Every structure is written in structure tokens, then in C-alpha cells.
Structure 1
Amino acid sequence: MSVGYSEDSIKTLEWQEHIRKRPGMYIGKLGDGSQPDDGIYILLKEVVDNSIDEFMMGNGKRIDITLNDKTVSIRDYGRGIPQGKLIDVASKMNTGAKYDSKVFKKSVGLNGVGIKAVNALSKQFIIKSIREGVTREAEFSAGILVSDKEYPANGEPNGTFVQFTPDETVFGNYVFQEEYIETMIRNYTYLNTNLLITFNEKEFISKNGLLDLLNENISSEPLYPIIHLKGEDIEVAITHGTGYGEDYYTFVNGQHTTQGGTHLSAFREAYVKTIREFYKKDFDPSDIRTSIIAAISIKVEDPVFESQTKTKLGSKDMGPNGPSVRQFVIDFIKEKLDNYLHKHGEVAQTLLQKILESEKERKAISGIKKLARERAKKASLHNRKLRDCRVHYNSKNPRAEETTLFITEGDSASGSITKSRDVNTQAVFSLRGKPLNTYGLTKKIVYENEEFNLLQSALDIEEDMDNLRYNKIVIATDADVDGMHIRLLLITFFLQFFPELIRQGHLFILQTPLFRVRNKKKTIYCYSPEEKEKAIAELGPNPEITRFKGLGEISPDEFKNFIGPDIRLDPVRLTKDDQIQELLSFYMGKNTPDRQEFIINNLRIEEDIIDEEPPVKISDIDENVDKTDDSNENLVA
């Protein structure tokens, strides 16, 4: 019997219902707050963007942001939203002031959707407009108007106040990470000089724009003073470090475009072109750009982004009647950088020396690279180490963001993940054992070591990050001493040769459960002793408790639960305070007295641990093995 298809089958969702049913269309992924592009930070950004646009138009020089557990408040001191349109602005799709480019010519939020998404996805949303002595306040819950009132402002300055609490029925159990919010705020201040932003009463302000950004984010002394160039609708800061890779911070109309786009491609081309012409040498692009650290910010009229979250610029032109982004950037860099190098001979000489050193190293390993590429090409036809997926990050596929490469140890763990993975978006790379410690080695080792060369080839990052094949690179090792050591060795490899992979947020550690607690009706997987105790309390007396000691002993059927939609990943993060060389030297260098002293001072032995814990029955010891894991980690250090 066929299902009826009539007028009753056609449904029109209210605006807030549509946003709540399809949040990914409006804010990208939901997440739980553990990654900087998770939905709760996009909600905050959508509100702050509106305040930034007011500042850019010359209204208000301060923004106050407060985080109280899961509730965020934003107060600006601009003109305040016209009060007759306050409810429309918060709850009517495609309502905003930015359609008229004369008012907001180069703003970030252009489609009148952002604030509505925040409203619909919050269990409580309050918006106030303080204007000319009157305050109008509207309160919503999940996008539904709860109250609307008007009262005297009692001397409060003009501006807009927004307070929201993301809805846990949409986002699950999320936690705001203050570190991510501070990074977002710092970027706002770099791009809007002399704007004061307070966050929980801590003040952020920048006087020198992108120059401050590089100064505050470079962990070691740059090779030469930062080159800072400014023009109408463009600002650039450039220097070089001593490592490998390329490190970029890119922005469009104040938006941090973490995935780059047309402006970054144009900058990379323009920089090579200008350097070649200045030195009158046809240097290889990789020699010119190796270890570059640069920031570029441009302002584009009516920008086109490749997603609602605006992390990649798609615009080809600066505006309807303007030049192409490519030509605009090339012309600016050619003139300003060329002039700078002519005026600063010592910088030009240092830069030339750096290029020649990169060229010398590249030529020294060119023979090895050729052999390694041939080996990788043969292996790619039947690479026993890689179980590839069908979709890749550098493709136009709508699932490209989901692509993941699991780096595993040993055949048993690889087998479990391989059998339980999603073959469309999840790939597996199998290590045969502990990889080489690459600290202090040159990039030559990447080509000499077959395993590293095949990993580099699988990721397709030999030349640059443009062709990266997986959005997430996940280290999946056992949570024992050997597994921890392998994690450190792999992180060292990426820090040493591909730090931009970490800076751009692509490297993760897979969390797998320590325990399985079950009875005849229900199974609960637990990632900590606390979760185990909670599960025991929930399931009642005498549940079956299994302690997982390694990935290989988890069956493929069970593994599906850990690498599916509820996958738990710990991002490997680099902050501006992380001194990479010092960290690598301490943890991965030769056995220094400092490290010996650290291990002695932090070593925990079993007798100490048992003394700290209440008595346990012998039968419980197996379930409590994890209590010694901290000492294992310190031993690895």
C-alpha cells in the first residue's frame, strides 16, 4: 500500500524550528566546546560581530563580554538597535541593517541570520537596546518571545546588550573554554586598533594591529624585525622563524578565516613573485616560503564565504567595481614589500641568507626525495599501511569536513578500527611499532624513513597544506606507557616538520573507554573512574565490569561506538605561550639533568598511590589499574 502524498504532507517550519532542526546550516558543527570552531563559539562570534561592525562605523570604543558558567553577556556602546525593530532584528529572518552597503560597506555579517540563530539555539536569549534615555528589552526561549518591555535607561549610555545561554537539548553537555574566547577577542583587537574589549573584567587592546599579533604569537626570536605594511583595505605583517612549514593568520573584514581562501592564495603567490623580482633570482617557491610567519587582513565589499561560519573566503573580487582579490594583493605586496626591502638592506640580506639555506638543504636531499617519491608512488598502489577512505578533505564533497585519518599502533588495533570505520570518511594508517624520535633531525629523515615518508604522502602535505587529505588526524594509541610514548613521538614529528597542522587544529588524540559496565538490559562505556562509579550506581548491584587494557582487545562492533557521532577527541593545541623548541628539547632531547630532576620529583610509586586511596578488595584491583596511569605518564616524560 503506497503512502499518501497530499497537501498535508507539505510542511512549512517556523524560522526557529528550522534553525533548531538544521543547526549545521547556520553555525557549522555543534561540538561540545572542546574545539575553537564548535557551535557555542560561533554563537558568541555572531553577537560580537554586530558590535564590531558598530565600532568600524565609528560608534562605541568598548565592548564588555562576561562568561558566567554557560551564560554569555555582550554589551557594546554603539548607537543601540532602533527600538521599533528590536524584535524583528532578533526573530525575523533576513532582517538587518547590512543590506545597504552605504551603512555597513565592509562588515562581516551580511545575511541577517546570525543573531536569529543565537536566539533560536538558546534556552534563554535576552536582547536590550539602550537608546536616548529608553531601554527596550525582549526575552526569548528557543526563539519564542517570552516578554517585551520598555523602561527608563536611568542614565545608562546608548548601546546594545545581549545575553544568551546555549540550549543543552541542542548542544548536549558543553563547556566554554576561556582560552578559545580569549584568542577570539585578541584577534578582534588586532584587527580593530584602539578598541577596548573586556572579558570577565580582563582588558584587551591593540595599538599596532597585526604587528602585535605576530609579536604575541611568535614563541622564539624571529630572524629579522617584523615587516609591517598597511594600505587602504589591507594590512600585512611578515617575518621568518627557524623551523619548517608556513604559518599564516588570515582575516577578511575582521573575520578569522582559519581555512584561508582567495586572499591567502593571492598573498602566497604575491610574496614569491615579489621576492623573485627583488633578488632577480628564480628561487623555488618552497625555499622562499619555508618557515614564513605572516598575517594578512583585507576588507572586501560584500564578501562571499564558502560557509555560514565564514572560515574560508570565496570572493574573487574586492567589490562589484573593484579589482580581483589576487590583483589587489599582488599590486600591494609588489609595491610595499619591494620598497621596504630596498630601504632595509640588513633585512633583505638576512632574508636572502634564509632562502639560500633552504635551497641548500632542499638540493642536498633532492636525490633522497626522488627515491622516496618513487617508493611512495609504488606503495600508493597497494599501501599496506593505509586503508584509505572515499572522500577527502581537499575535495568538494559535502562530507569533506568529516574526513579523518586514524594513526594506530599494531595490527590488532588497526584491524578493529578498519572493520568498524565509516569507509566513506574514515581512513586508517598503521604503524609497525614505535616511530623514530625526530627531535633535532632535519627534514631529510622524513624521506629516509619509509614510514614517515608514507605518512607524509598519505596526508599529501609535502609541498604545503593546500592538498591536505583529511580534516582530522587522530593519534589512536593505547593509554599505557608505550602508547603514551608513541603519542609523544608522533607529536614531536608533527611539531618538528609540520607545525601548521597543529596550529590549524587538525591533530587530535582519540579517547577510548577505560571500562565497560553492563547488566542484561544496558551497557555503559566509561572514560574515567568517575564515570565508572556513576554507571555502577545507575545499573544497580553486581554489574559486569570490564577493564579495557588496549585498543586491540575492543571488538569492531564495540569500536563503532567510539569512532562514530559520539567520538571523543582531545585536540592537540599550541598556544602563544608554548615555546616549541624548549618543549621538544626538554621532553624529547638528550637525557638532561633538568629532566632527570623532573622525573625524580614527580615520580609516584605504587605504595604512595595505595596510601592515598581507601582500602580495596583484591577483586577490585583490576578495575582500579587506571589509578597508576598518571605515574606512567610522568615516567614517559
Structure 2
Amino acid sequence: MASNYTEASIKTLSSLEHIRLRPGMYIGRLGNGSHAEDGIYVLIKETIDNSIDEFTMGYGKRIEIELKERSVRVRDYGRGIPLGKLIDCVSIINTGAKYDSETFQKSVGLNGVGQKAVNALALTYRAQAVRDGETKVVEFAEGKLKKEHKVVKSDERNGTIIEFTPDTALFGADFRFRPEFIEDMMWNYAFLNRGLTLTFNGKSFKSEHGLRDLLQKNLTGETLYPIIHLEAEDIEIALTHGAHYGEEYYSFVNGQHTTMGGTHQAAFREAVVETVRNFYKKDFEAADVRQSIIAAISVRVQEPVFESQTKTKLGSNDMGPNGPSVREFIGKFVQQHLDVYLHRNPDTAGAILRKIQESEHERKELAGIRNLARERAKKASLHNRKLRDCRLHLGERNPRADESALFIVEGDSAAGSLTACRDVQTQAVFALKGKPLNTFGLSKKVIYENEEFHLLQSALNIEDGLDGLRYGKVVIATDADVDGMHIRLLLISFFLQFFPELITAGRLYILETPLFRVRNKKRTIYCYSEEEKQAAVKELGATHEITRFKGLGEISANEFKDFIGENIRLEPLSLHHLHNSAELLSFFMGKNTPQRQEFIIENLRVEKDLVAVA
């Protein structure tokens, strides 16, 4: 009611209260640790960033990270926070040395917020500084100072030690750190800071060749030519072309992984096209030049402006107060250095030209069939029962737009259950007829010839790249049986072959649904594994009954609501364990029937054998 809007309605929060009430403004999403960009990893990153800034300024060549269950410890060997300002630096917002450009130049943490947010969002937090033979420790709980220790003598090396445990009240009782996400973070730090050694639970991370090593580690198949690696002051690039479709970029500003790109990535994409056009003296289509490119760029900018506190997208276009624009700086560097490289390496120049010509030929070949497919899709969209769309989409100015998700399900039965209970604002459903076509080894032509795949591509709006992607998450929701797993593999193969950037951008997920329902007259427990089922049986006692769900269509809409709502379990699909996805796809999806048949025979286990083993 308007009459309730009085002076008493106006609240002023302390910085601590504001961080805990609106954590999303400081660390982005909260999450439970199942996604690499969940808040618990941002807490680690914010802590390590300070140590990286010390290394960048020439202090400390080693950073040690330890994870014990839910507690994190970060130890660097930099200068150490001045002891008299230790409390201020870890608890009072807008406090730090990075406002002084002489003390920290081209650092990523410029706002004096990061470490205070870590403290405020931690159940327990401990900071220790060692400086010139003396040390001091301060301890906090939920951002509030609990104990300030006196300054004492110390024979430890200079540096800072931060220990914290994220607050379960904010991140959920079931949150957990995934070591593979932290390892990816460690590698990125190592690639961007040659000469630095990071250790995570005793495992060392160090790089000799920077971004060249980064690309080599993330390649999922053979490259058409050796990786081009170029660098100068404040800029480093690496690039090559693969045999897949799409574009893959890894971009960084001042050591920060800008997963959403920004002005530097856009400038790099433009610069590569312009340089290649000038080198060959041909006005190639930009899409033909960039088709199948795999590239990384790192720049160092003075006083960068990011589009959010989590710094995933660069918004500023200046290298520094008196320097050139980001676009000019990158454009000039790429034009000069890439052009010289191509002149000196004719084999690579020839490989790039052949790749562009192949892309150009395929694009022209697809032109006719693409127009026919679009007309067909336009007609189908008027009465298309495959897509039950949602109201909000990625990129729209609505706080919930990033939550938008497209669930890809098998059959009308599963689609019906999910559609009946979904959140119509953010959850869309796309129904497959059955098993989709195995696209391994096929060209992009298949997308336009196969109505189902073309409608899926149209629903996602990714024909020309991820810029137009309509959903924050693409969720494969298939049955947990053999057929469902096969459909899942066929879809993953499709995305890997034609839209790998959807996976590298962390947009593709698998929906986990319960395998069992265990209940008695008082309580119902849904179980996602045999272990969970056994625990539920023990908990509910002798009066329980067990239902085995074979398919999503068997789960009623009332029940399904629990599995796609607040308690949704999504498994992000990543290339972390796929060192050579092309080789894996060739084995599992290719026409190597005898070898695959032999593998299946050797590894086949029937249900009675599994029960006996258990």
C-alpha cells in the first residue's frame, strides 16, 4: 500500500550489511559450487588476485593455495599488508593501496572491495601479515571482528596469509568446492604470469610459454598450423585454426579472465580480420576468416573499467589516461606483428588461406539450402510444437534474464511434465521426436537439411555465434536409461562439432533427475544414486516403499517442479577431462564398428554382475 511508504521505509545499510544482503553485486551468482563462476570460486579469485598484483609489481614468486573440505588458505610471499592497516584492508570497503598508481600499476583489483566481500561472506575469516620480522593476525566471523592479536616478532618470510570458510547461510548447506575448477583457475594464473609458481594442495602450476601453453592445453583436436604466439609490452596473443566450427576465445585483462569478452576481445577479432585481408589483398568475409579460430589475448590496462564487480567483461576503451584506445593499441599490434609473422612463415600463411577458401566455399554452398531452411523454419515457427518458449531471454534488461534456460527433452511425455510445472518467465522446453541424427563427421549442411537441428539452432539463435544466444543455460534433460544416455551423447556430439563455444563458455548442462523415490506415510525422499537410496531406506525404516523412475515422462508435474526449481541439480559440461575430444568422438560416434564392438565386449557388465560386486 502507498500509505505504508514513510520515513521508516528508508534504510541505510553498513557496507557489511549491504554485502551480505546483496552479495550478487559483489561476487555475481551465489551457487553451490557446481559452476565455475559460482561465488565460492570468486572468493578464491579475489584473494589470489591480491597476491598476483604483488607478483606483478615484482614481489613474491610463489603463491600457495590449500583447500581442506570447505576452508581455503592462500599464502603469498609479497610485501605483506602494512600491519597497522591490516584490519582496514580486509574489512573497510574502499580501503587499499591500489588507488595509488605508483604502488600498484595495471592491477585487476582497483575498487577496494574484493577482499572485504570475501570477509563479509565468510563464516570465519583470518588474515595474517608478515612484514620485516613482525607479524599480526586478525580474526572475523560473518564479517565482524572477533579478535585482534598483538604485533609479535616473526622469522617467517614476508607476505600475507588469508584463511576463510564461506558461509553456509549464504551459499547453502550443500555447497562444495570442485578441485577441477580451482585447477583451471590455477592454470590461467600460471599462463598469464610466467615466472610465478602456484601450488594447489601440493600440486604445482607453472608455465614457460604463456598463452601458447594455454591454447595447447585447451585444444580439443588437431590444428591446421602451429600456434602463432606474439607478444610485446602490455599485450600477448596466441592463435591457430582447428577443424571444428565456430570461434573460441580466451581473453584476459590484467590477469583477469574476461569470460564475457569486452572491448579488447572485440578489437582483437576485428584486427585479425583486417590484417588477414591486407596480407592477402582480398576482401574476405569476416566470418570466413574467423571460422574455426582458436585464440587467446591478454592485455594490461591502466585503470580498467569492468561492467561488473566480478570483472567478466571489459567495458573501457582506453589503455590508460594518456594512452591510445584499446582498439587502436590492439589493431596496431596485430597489424604489425601478425603481418610480419605471415611473411616469415609461408606454410602457415598458405594453411590460413586454404582454410578461408574452404569456409568461403562451404558458406556459398550453404546459401541456397540455408534460405530454404529459414523459410521452412519461419512457417514451422507459427505452429511449432517443439518449442515452448519462456518470456525472458539472455541479454534483456531484466535481473532474471540470465536465469533463462532451454531444456532439451526427448518426447512429448517428458515435455508435457516439464512444461506443466516450469517457470514460464525463465524456462523454455524443446522436445525432440526421438533419437537425433548422429552428426559426427558431417558438415554444417546437415543442420539445414535436418529440420529438428535447424529448429534447435533457430531456437537458440546461435547460427552466427553466441552473441545472439537467447538462453543463459542450455540443458540436456534426457532419461537416465541407455536410450537417454545415447541421446545425451548424440546431442553433446552435435554441440561439440558445430558449437563448441557453447561448451567453452560454460552454457551447456546436464539435468540430473532422481532415479528413485523412497517414501513412507510421513515422508518422501528423492534419490539420485544407489548410495542415496540406501541412506534413505535406512532413514525411513521398514515401512518404506521404493519407486524406480525409468523416464522423465513417469514423473508427475507436481514432483517435477521440485527438480527444476530451487533444488535443481545441473551438471555443467566442460572440456576439462577431454584432452582430445575429436579422438573420443571418432571412437564413440564414428564408423569404427569393429574396434568399438571389441571395446564393448571387453567392458560389458550386466546387472547381476554389478549386484554381485556391490
> Which TM-score applies when normalising by structure 2?
0.96
Matched to 2:53, the amino acid is: D
Matched to 1:31, the amino acid is: G
Q: Could you tell me how far 1:544 is from its partner in structure 2? A: 4.4
2:149 aligned counterpart, secondary structure: strand
Residues 348-407 of structure 1, C-alpha deviations (whole Å, 9 max, x = no match): 111111111111222222211121122222333333211111211133332222110000
CA distance in structure 2 between the aligned counterparts of 1:605 and 1:576, rounded to whole angstroms? 27
CA distance in structure 1 between the aligned counterparts of 2:401 and 2:333, rounded to whole angstroms? 34
Q: Could you tell me how far 1:443 is from its partner in structure 2? A: 1.0
What are the residue-to-residue correspondences of 1:187-206 with 2, within 5 Å? Answer: 187-206=188-207
CA distance in structure 2 between the aligned counterparts of 1:609 and 1:294, rounded to whole angstroms? 45
- Greater shift after overlay, 318-327 or 443-452? 318-327
- Greater shift after overlay, 135-144 or 311-320? 311-320
- Residue 57 (structure 1) aligns with: 57
What are the residue-to-residue correspondences of 1:586-601 with 2, within 5 Å? Answer: 586-601=587-602
- Residue 169 (structure 1) aligns with: 169
What are the residue-to-residue correspondences of 1:111-190 with 2, within 5 Å? Answer: 111-172=111-172, 173-190=174-191
Q: Could you tell me how far 1:429 is from its partner in structure 2? A: 0.8
Matched to 1:57, the amino acid is: M
Matched to 1:364, the amino acid is: E
CA distance in structure 1 between the aligned counterparts of 2:522 and 2:229, rounded to whole angstroms? 65
Matched to 2:395, the amino acid is: N
1:140 aligned counterpart, secondary structure: strand
- Residue 634 (structure 1) aligns with: none
1:427 aligned counterpart, secondary structure: strand
CA distance in structure 2 between the aligned counterparts of 1:248 and 1:576, rounded to whole angstroms? 19
The answer to whether 1:426 aligns with 2:432 is no
- Residue 605 (structure 1) aligns with: 606
Kept after mapping to 2: 8 A contact 1:87/1:138: yes
- Greater shift after overlay, 157-166 or 337-346? 337-346
- Residue 401 (structure 1) aligns with: 402
Kept after mapping to 1: 8 A contact 2:440/2:590: yes
Q: Could you tell me how far 1:554 is from its partner in structure 2? A: 1.5
CA distance in structure 2 between the aligned counterparts of 1:191 and 1:389, rounded to whole angstroms? 40
CA distance in structure 2 between the aligned counterparts of 1:230 and 1:553, rounded to whole angstroms? 57
Kept after mapping to 2: 8 A contact 1:63/1:75: yes
- Residue 626 (structure 1) aligns with: none
Q: Could you tell me how far 1:538 is from its partner in structure 2? A: 3.8
Gap regions ≥5 residues in structure 1 = 614-637
Q: Could you tell me how far 1:541 is from its partner in structure 2? A: 4.5
What are the residue-to-residue correspondences of 1:480-491 with 2, within 5 Å? Answer: 480-491=481-492
What are the residue-to-residue correspondences of 1:306-455 with 2, within 5 Å? Answer: 306-455=307-456
CA distance in structure 1 between the aligned counterparts of 2:423 and 2:322, rounded to whole angstroms? 46
Matched to 1:175, the amino acid is: R
Structure 2 CA distance for partners of 1:321 and 1:400, relative to 1, 3 Å: farther
The answer to whether 1:268 aligns with 2:269 is yes
Percent identity reads: 65
Matched to 2:534, the amino acid is: E
Structure 2 CA distance for partners of 1:490 and 1:220, relative to 1, 3 Å: closer
- Residue 241 (structure 2) aligns with: 240
Q: Could you tell me how far 1:408 is from its partner in structure 2? A: 0.6
What are the residue-to-residue correspondences of 1:56-75 with 2, within 5 Å? Answer: 56-75=56-75
Q: Could you tell me how far 1:232 is from its partner in structure 2? A: 2.6
CA distance in structure 1 between the aligned counterparts of 2:153 and 2:371, rounded to whole angstroms? 72
Matched to 1:487, the amino acid is: R
Residues 242-263 of structure 1, C-alpha deviations (whole Å, 9 max, x = no match): 1111111100110001111121
- Residue 46 (structure 2) aligns with: 46
CA distance in structure 1 between the aligned counterparts of 2:566 and 2:41, rounded to whole angstroms? 20
CA distance in structure 2 between the aligned counterparts of 1:252 and 1:335, rounded to whole angstroms? 21
CA distance in structure 2 between the aligned counterparts of 1:510 and 1:233, rounded to whole angstroms? 42
- Residue 630 (structure 1) aligns with: none
- Residue 536 (structure 2) aligns with: 535
CA distance in structure 2 between the aligned counterparts of 1:209 and 1:170, rounded to whole angstroms? 36
> Which TM-score applies when normalising by structure 1?
0.92
- Residue 304 (structure 2) aligns with: 303
Kept after mapping to 1: 8 A contact 2:40/2:177: yes
- Residue 496 (structure 1) aligns with: 497
Matched to 2:46, the amino acid is: E
Q: Could you tell me how far 1:3 is from its partner in structure 2? A: 7.6
What are the residue-to-residue correspondences of 1:460-609 with 2, within 5 Å? Answer: 460-575=461-576, 577-609=578-610
Q: Could you tell me how far 1:336 is from its partner in structure 2? A: 1.7
CA distance in structure 1 between the aligned counterparts of 2:368 and 2:190, rounded to whole angstroms? 47
CA distance in structure 2 between the aligned counterparts of 1:239 and 1:347, rounded to whole angstroms? 9
Q: Could you tell me how far 1:434 is from its partner in structure 2? A: 0.6
- Residue 287 (structure 2) aligns with: 286
Structure 2 CA distance for partners of 1:4 and 1:269, relative to 1, 3 Å: closer
Kept after mapping to 1: 8 A contact 2:218/2:579: no
Q: Could you tell me how far 1:165 is from its partner in structure 2? A: 1.3
Structure 2 CA distance for partners of 1:521 and 1:7, relative to 1, 3 Å: farther
Kept after mapping to 2: 8 A contact 1:394/1:466: no
Structure 2 CA distance for partners of 1:219 and 1:153, relative to 1, 3 Å: farther
CA distance in structure 1 between the aligned counterparts of 2:100 and 2:523, rounded to whole angstroms? 57
Structure 2 CA distance for partners of 1:245 and 1:5, relative to 1, 3 Å: closer
Q: Could you tell me how far 1:147 is from its partner in structure 2? A: 1.4
CA distance in structure 2 between the aligned counterparts of 1:494 and 1:2, rounded to whole angstroms? 51
Structure 2 CA distance for partners of 1:576 and 1:235, relative to 1, 3 Å: farther
Q: Could you tell me how far 1:87 is from its partner in structure 2? A: 0.6
Structure 2 CA distance for partners of 1:219 and 1:433, relative to 1, 3 Å: closer
Matched to 1:18, the amino acid is: H
Q: Could you tell me how far 1:138 is from its partner in structure 2? A: 0.5
CA distance in structure 2 between the aligned counterparts of 1:336 and 1:610, rounded to whole angstroms? 62
CA distance in structure 2 between the aligned counterparts of 1:422 and 1:607, rounded to whole angstroms? 41
Q: Could you tell me how far 1:512 is from its partner in structure 2? A: 0.9
Matched to 1:324, the amino acid is: S
Matched to 1:292, the amino acid is: I
Kept after mapping to 2: 8 A contact 1:414/1:428: yes
Structure 2 CA distance for partners of 1:235 and 1:38, relative to 1, 3 Å: same
Q: Could you tell me how far 1:519 is from its partner in structure 2? A: 4.0
Kept after mapping to 2: 8 A contact 1:194/1:205: yes
Kept after mapping to 1: 8 A contact 2:137/2:150: yes
Kept after mapping to 1: 8 A contact 2:121/2:167: yes
Residues 495-518 of structure 1, C-alpha deviations (whole Å, 9 max, x = no match): 111111111111111111122233
Q: Could you tell me how far 1:151 is from its partner in structure 2? A: 4.6
- Greater shift after overlay, 311-320 or 497-506? 311-320
Matched to 2:483, the amino acid is: D
- Greater shift after overlay, 61-70 or 586-595? 586-595
Q: Could you tell me how far 1:221 is from its partner in structure 2? A: 3.5
CA distance in structure 2 between the aligned counterparts of 1:196 and 1:610, rounded to whole angstroms? 47
1:16 aligned counterpart, secondary structure: helix
Residues 187-236 of structure 1, C-alpha deviations (whole Å, 9 max, x = no match): 11111111111112222222221122112222433211221121232111
CA distance in structure 1 between the aligned counterparts of 2:304 and 2:399, rounded to whole angstroms? 21
Kept after mapping to 2: 8 A contact 1:258/1:312: yes
- Residue 19 (structure 2) aligns with: 19
Matched to 1:260, the amino acid is: G
Residues 147-192 of structure 1, C-alpha deviations (whole Å, 9 max, x = no match): 1113544321111011111122221212221111111111111111
CA distance in structure 2 between the aligned counterparts of 1:335 and 1:10, rounded to whole angstroms? 57
Matched to 2:157, the amino acid is: P
CA distance in structure 2 between the aligned counterparts of 1:221 and 1:207, rounded to whole angstroms? 22
Q: Could you tell me how far 1:26 is from its partner in structure 2? A: 1.4
- Residue 249 (structure 1) aligns with: 250
Residues 417-445 of structure 1, C-alpha deviations (whole Å, 9 max, x = no match): 11211111111111011100011111111
CA distance in structure 1 between the aligned counterparts of 2:599 and 2:153, rounded to whole angstroms? 58
- Residue 97 (structure 1) aligns with: 97
